[in-house]
Amino acid sequence: MADTDSEFSGSIPTFYDRYLGPMNCAPYAADLAVRVKALAPARVLEVAAGTGIVTRAIVQVLPAGAEIVATDLNQPMLDFAAVQPGLEHVVWRQADAQQLPFEDESFDVVVCQFGVMFFPDRIAGYLEARRVLRPGGRYLFNVWDRIEENEFTAVIHAAVAAFFPDDPPRFLVRTPFGYHKVATIREELKRAGFDRIETATVALRSRAPLARDPAVGMCEGTPLRSEIEARDATRLAEATDAAARALAARFGPGPIDGKIQAHVVTVTR
């Protein structure tokens, strides 16, 4: 993993939440929220909460008495999330998922959306989730399937790579879409002490009003931005335009609709 792969600062949280939130994250946030609701937890911990997309979905489905603690390593993401409406009763805390500041066996559910791919040491993150879960508690998380199963992202990755042919950015395939082998996920969870593991591959649809929206979201709302700017800080807008043109050529100018696919993992302590 490159040093910049987990940097979500500056304007990235705003672009991430505005563009990628509705298109890519909200559909799977709703899926996770339904799964959490079915467990009727009294205390939920969210790790790698980002801008609070899953947090909002969980708040909407759990009773008012349920306690929700949302954490993220990136304070700018938490700062953005904490001021969103409807989340006033959520406890926000900056924390490293690999070294959680909570007591043993203190949560009924630990949930993480599209975050474990960013852990430098995933087994350490899994060990911590297991430690803070009560016996019988659940750890729910999702990860993207391979990039070829996610149409908008595949087009954007190819377009940006072609824009920098001598040194194509690899962030998307390296990190957010780089942890898609179910066998690897299962093996690492077992190394962390989990033995009751369920997985499901869930295909949904991503929709955007304009072809440009996914391009802006990926190129300016993720650490792909840092990779583009590291190659030429003056060409971010051009690279985004190239991605937008590629999306329009494939799907039309908008509204556009494309396949997204992820693995959803449920683990019992």
Number of folded domains that form the chain: 1
From the list 55, 167, 36, the residue with the least C-alpha distance to 115 is: 55
Residue 109, both tokens: 């559910």
Which pLDDT belongs to residue 8?
75
Cα–Cα distance for residue pair 221/240, rounded to 1 Å: 11
In a domain, 3, yes or no: no
In a domain, 147, yes or no: yes
Cα–Cα distance for residue pair 150/137, rounded to 1 Å: 31
Cα–Cα distance for residue pair 186/45, rounded to 1 Å: 22
Q: Dihedral sign, CA of 23, 28, 31, 35? A: negative
- Residues 6 or more apart whose Cβ sits within 8 Å of residue 220: 11, 12, 15, 236, 240
Helical H runs in 178-223?
Answer: 182-191, 212-220
Residue 110, both tokens: 């630990």
Bond before 255 cis per omega within 30 degrees: yes
Residue 69, both tokens: 């603690």
Cα–Cα distance for residue pair 75/56, rounded to 1 Å: 18
In a domain, 1, yes or no: no
Which pLDDT belongs to residue 161?
97
In a domain, 178, yes or no: yes
**SS3 label, residue 207:** strand
State the pTM of this model: 0.94
In a domain, 7, yes or no: no
In a domain, 254, yes or no: yes
pLDDT tens digit at each of 269 positions of the chain: 666 656 676 888 888 889 898 999 999 999 999 999 999 999 999 999 999 999 999 999 999 999 999 999 999 999 999 999 989 999 999 999 999 999 999 999 999 999 999 999 999 999 999 999 999 999 999 999 999 999 999 999 999 999 999 999 999 999 999 999 999 999 999 999 999 999 999 999 999 999 999 999 999 999 999 999 999 999 999 999 999 999 999 999 989 999 999 999 999 99
CATH number of the domain bearing residue 78: 3.40.50.150
In a domain, 90, yes or no: yes
- Residues 6 or more apart whose Cβ sits within 8 Å of residue 40: none
Residue 215, both tokens: 């391009």
Q: Which domain holds residue 68?
A: 12-268
pLDDT one-digit tens code per residue, 4-60? 656 676 888 888 889 898 999 999 999 999 999 999 999 999 999 999 999 999 999
From the list 38, 30, 260, 1, the residue with the least C-alpha distance to 138 is: 38
In a domain, 136, yes or no: yes
